[in-house]
Amino acid sequence: MVTRQLFEKELAAMHSEIVRMGVAVENSIAQAVTALIEQDSVLAQKVIDQDDIIDAMELEIERMCLEIIARQQPVARDLRDVTSALKLITDLERIADHASDISERILVLATRKRVMVHHDLITMAEISKEMIRGALDAYVTRNIELAEKIIKQDDRVDELFLKLKEELIHLMSVDSENIEQYVELIMICKYFERIADHSQNVAEWVIFYVKGQH
């Protein structure tokens, strides 16, 4: 009984740290979206600076997970809990990396003539932000229906990415003076598409934990 109580306490501490990391990642995405819309270099730099903090969170949670496995030797659902957590934090860390990547591109854009940020890019950014929030909510509540909804949203982001890439390539052909800016915007689109992919992964790990299926 004592051993089980200790195990559950360690699991609770692990979940708490994952939620804390998730909040930090969600904030980074939100700030990156705002920095893009407002072309805010100061905010973009803040997102970049926060990436090391999120990396440290991932390492700490990884340490906690490995210690749980070594000491408690979990099986069945408990093992799924820990292994899915290990996979999930990897996706969270990659999302934070992409928020930093987007912010670096914003800093480059700030040094050049300003071009319009297409409304579809803003839509894509907002959906990506909603996906990570929803995936984290699904994790906290163990909500399979919400997780499945998040997974389906990835198709919409993919559609917007392909549409935006085509439009930006066209703009490069008719507005040669601003080719570099359009290249940066294509890269930003790709990073948001990757954020959506990793958010989908988070939702899939929730389903794996609850149902034992991936």
- What's the rounded Cα separation, in Å, for the pair 99 and 43? 12
pLDDT, averaged in runs of 10, over the chain (214 residues): 77 95 96 93 97 97 95 87 94 98 96 89 94 95 96 97 96 93 96 97 93 75
- What's the rounded Cα separation, in Å, for the pair 110 and 95? 23
Q: C-alpha distances in angstroms, 146 versus 18, 89, 135?
A: 18, 19, 8
- Is the distance from CB of 36 to CB of 102 less than 8 angstroms? yes
Q: Rg of the chain over CA atoms, in angstroms? A: 19
**All residues at 6 or more sequence positions from 106 whose CB lies less than 8 Å from its CB, including other chains:** 32, 35, 36, 39, 40, 41, 44, 188
| DSSP string covering 56-101 | HHHHHHHHHHHHHHHHH---HHHHHHHHHHHHHHHHHHHHHHHHHH
Measured in residues, the chain has a length of: 214
Give the per-residue pLDDT at 5: 84
> Structural domains in the chain?
2-211 (1.20.58.220)
The Cβ of residue 155 has, within 10 Å, a number of other Cβ atoms equal to 11
The secondary element (H helix, E strand) that includes residue 154 is helix 144-174
- What's the rounded Cα separation, in Å, for the pair 104 and 126? 19
- What's the rounded Cα separation, in Å, for the pair 134 and 140? 10
- Is the distance from CB of 107 to CB of 45 less than 8 angstroms? yes
Give the per-residue pLDDT at 1: 47
- What's the rounded Cα separation, in Å, for the pair 39 and 1? 56
Give the per-residue pLDDT at 214: 65
> How far, rounded to the nearest angstrom, does the alpha carbon of residue 181 sit from its chain's CA centroid?
24
> What is the pTM (predicted TM-score) of this model?
0.93
